[in-house]
Amino acid sequence: MTLGYALPYGLRDVQLIKYPTLAATTFGTQLTDLPVARTMSFNDTEDYEDLRGDDKLYTSHGKGAQVEWEIESGGVSFDAYAIIAGGVVIDTGISPNQIRRFRKKSLDVRPFFTAIGQAINDNGGDFQAIIWRCRSTGNVEGELGDGEFYIPKVSGTGFSCLVSGLVNATEINDSIYDFVYRETSGSITAPAIDTPAAPVTYSISDTGGTVSGGEIVVVTGYGFVGVTGVTVGGTAATDFEVTSPYSLTLITPAHSAGSANILVTNATGTSAVNPAAAYTYV
């Protein structure tokens, strides 16, 4: 089964990553496991305002998307509880008389965190749901009952991410959530800003044209953010436009007959020569 048709099933793991500060402008790095995770649900919501006049409904306008989420687990560690509810974890003593205490005070605020849920999918890979900036805005519910497991449940809101920078080659700021299919299953990792790297070229839409140039060529690849220059056989493209982090369009310059490598440059460096991105002048 191809990746595009894989279906997620079977919750495998939920990890919480607390932001270092309440400002939530840089990602945290510490993964905190939600033990025995049972469910992670999400509801994409948006309030709309209708434009009506002359006894007709003309259009409606959204006021901004958000996601409502809910997590349920079979028990919860104090570290995870502190991320969800605020408060502190206090350890005293040493084994075999160690005591671990969770304490919530009236002025303790609930922090922001990233929540990542992972499910296996039916092609052997996995599916991840990433809510970039969560906050528990609902009740934190739990019950100790006779002969029953303690199964707490918490709900909240997913807000726009305040971190600026590229994550997986796209700007993360203002993102609310991602769904990600991976062909090969792996572990959950904390989100991080991309390490600056030179562009990579994969292919071009047209492999040849006349020596006079003026042809439009679409280049696909990776890392096409902040591109400062594009050359064809060492000659600067007549013009170019970056259309996405994975695509740019150029106009070929005049050039002598023969093969000419298309190279893309950003602040970090220049793409390596790739035969799949070679343009032939005739």
> Is the per-residue pLDDT at 244 higher than 90?
no
Give me the mean pLDDT over the 245-254 stretch. 94
Residues 267 and 160: their CA atoms lie apart, in Å, by 28
What is the model's pLDDT at position 230? 96
User: In 73-138, where does DSSP find H-type helix?
Assistant: 78-85
Q: Provide the 10 A C-beta neighbour count for residue 259.
A: 12
What is the model's pLDDT at position 103? 95
Q: Which of 278, 269, 268, 266 is nearest to 229 (CA)?
A: 266
pTM of the model as a whole: 0.76
Residues 4 and 205: their CA atoms lie apart, in Å, by 23
Give me the mean pLDDT over the 214-231 stretch. 92
What is the per-residue pLDDT across 60-93, written as a single tens digit (0 to 9) for each? Answer: 888 888 899 999 988 788 999 999 999 999 999 9
> Which of 7-16, 137-146, 228-237 tops mean pLDDT?
228-237
Confidence band for 1, pLDDT divided at 50, 70 and 90: low
Residues 232 and 206: their CA atoms lie apart, in Å, by 13
Q: Provide the 10 A C-beta neighbour count for residue 125.
A: 17
CB 230 within 8 A of CB 262: yes
* More confident site: 217 or 124: 217
What is the per-residue pLDDT across 98-108, written as a single tens digit (0 to 9) for each? Answer: 999 999 999 99
Buried b (16+ CB within 10 A) or exposed e, 48-83: eeeeeeeeeeeeeeeeeebbbbebbbeebbbbbbbb
What is the per-residue pLDDT across 3-16, written as a single tens digit (0 to 9) for each? Answer: 777 888 889 999 99
Name the percent of the chain lying above pLDDT 90.
Answer: 68
Residues 157 and 273: their CA atoms lie apart, in Å, by 46
Give me the mean pLDDT over the 243-254 stretch. 93
Residues 177 and 21: their CA atoms lie apart, in Å, by 20
Name the percent of the chain lying above pLDDT 70.
Answer: 99
> Is the per-residue pLDDT at 54 higher than 90?
no
Domains and CATH numbers, the chain: 7-182 (2.30.110), 200-281 (2.60.40.10)
DSSP 146-212: TT-----EEEEEEEPP---SEETTEE-TT--EEEEEESS--------PPPP---EEEEES--EE-TT
Give me the mean pLDDT over the 261-281 stretch. 94
What is the model's pLDDT at position 6? 80
User: In 4-114, where does DSSP find H-type helix?
Assistant: 78-85
* Mean pLDDT taken over the chain: 92
* More confident site: 257 or 170: 257
Give me the mean pLDDT over the 109-114 stretch. 96
What is the model's pLDDT at position 171? 86
What is the model's pLDDT at position 79? 93
DSSP code, position 224? -
Cis peptide before 111 (omega within 30 of 0): no
> Is the per-residue pLDDT at 31 higher than 70?
yes
